[in-house]
Amino acid sequence: MITGTPKPIGEILEMVEPYDKIIVAGCHGCVTVCRVGGEKEVQVLASTIRLAREAGGRKIEIKEVSLERQCDPEYVELMRPYVEDYQAVLSIACGAGIQFLAEKFTVTPLLPGINTGFLGVTERQGEWAERCQGCGDCVLHLTGGICPVTRCAKSLFHGPCGGSVQGVCEVDKDIKCGWQLIIDRLKALDQMDNYGKLKPYKGWSSARDGGPRRILREDMI
């Protein structure tokens, strides 16, 4: 899923400061699963803003909305009938959702209520961790199902570097050395042969470096 973290409330209050009538828009997708932008978070955030504004002596009207997905036009269009009645939309979906609203509702300012994080997994209740950078050229079959681009702090293709100590990355004691994980897994799979080969330079054009990406499926259009 796409993960995120809430922006500090002070920053949000500053963003909404110019407005007296806004929409707080959540999303039922990834941000609901990682508990940062779903229906419940919309309620909590809207209440917090209302209380803060009331305390400051300047009330704000807030409409609370949660779309099925902010990244799909069919759901985004459901906001069209009323969106122009409001001065701004504070979205707590991921960056893609926020931008999609901005694209669709061209005269309404869009405000980000969360900082979008990464493509990751729920390691346990309340803890998410990155797994994929969406580089567009997957090599997981060669690396024991563990991504060197994402899991190695240096994205090395022939790790680990000299800073790997007892399975821990030198960058942070809470980061596992991705290459230690890869080697452990290759050994378990009896695929250490994969380690001993020089890999070609990675093509980054399929990643963000090639410019904004697009997938076109002729069979679906």
Partner 1 sequence: MKSESNLKRVLDAGHISVTAECGPPRGADPEIVRKKAAFVAGNVDACNVTDNQTAVVRMSSLAGCMLIKELGIDPLIQMVVRDRNRIALQSDLLGASALGVRNLLCLSGDHQKFGDDPQAKNVFDIDSMQLIHMAKTMRDEGVFPSGDKLDGALQFYIGCAVNPFADPYEIRVPRLKLKVEAGADFVQTQCIYNMEKFKTYIEDAKKEGLLDKVKILAGVTPLKSAGMAKFMRRMVAGMDIPDEVVKRIGDEPKEKQAAKGIEMCIEQIQELKEMEGIAGIHVMAIEWEEKLEEIIGGAGLLPRPVIE
**In the block, residue with structure tokens 């009323």:** 82
* C-alpha to C-alpha distance for 45 and 26, rounded to whole angstroms: 10
* C-alpha to C-alpha distance for 119 and 55, rounded to whole angstroms: 38
- One-letter amino acid at 173 equals K
Per-residue binding string, partner 1, 70-109, x by CB under 8 A, is ----------------------------------------
Q: Which residue in 28, 35, 63, 154 binds partner 1 (CB under 8 A)?
A: 154
Cβ of residue 134: shortest distance to partner 1, in angstroms?
A: 17
* C-alpha to C-alpha distance for 154 and 210, rounded to whole angstroms: 20
Q: Which residue in 20, 52, 96, 204 binds partner 1 (CB under 8 A)?
A: 204
Does residue number 116 form part of the binding site for partner 1 (CB under 8 A)? Answer: no
**Region binding partner 1 by CB under 8 A among candidate stretches 9-17, 24-32, 112-120, 201-209:** 201-209
Q: Give the three-state DSSP class for 62.
A: strand
Q: Do β-strands 21-27 and 61-67 pair in parallel, antiparallel, or remain unpaired?
A: parallel
Does residue number 171 form part of the binding site for partner 1 (CB under 8 A)? Answer: yes
Q: Give, in order, the Cα–Cα distances in Å from 177 to each of 32, 162, 172, 180, 196.
A: 30, 11, 10, 5, 18
**Region binding partner 1 by CB under 8 A among candidate stretches 3-11, 122-130, 138-146, 192-200:** 192-200
* C-alpha to C-alpha distance for 17 and 28, rounded to whole angstroms: 27
**Region binding partner 1 by CB under 8 A among candidate stretches 84-92, 108-116, 119-127, 197-205:** 197-205
Residue 90's H or E segment, with its range, is strand 88-91
Does residue number 189 form part of the binding site for partner 1 (CB under 8 A)? Answer: no
Does residue number 139 form part of the binding site for partner 1 (CB under 8 A)? Answer: no
Cβ of residue 160: shortest distance to partner 1, in angstroms?
A: 7
Residues that bind partner 1 (CB under 8 A): 153-167, 170-172, 177, 179-180, 183, 195-196, 198-199, 201-202, 204
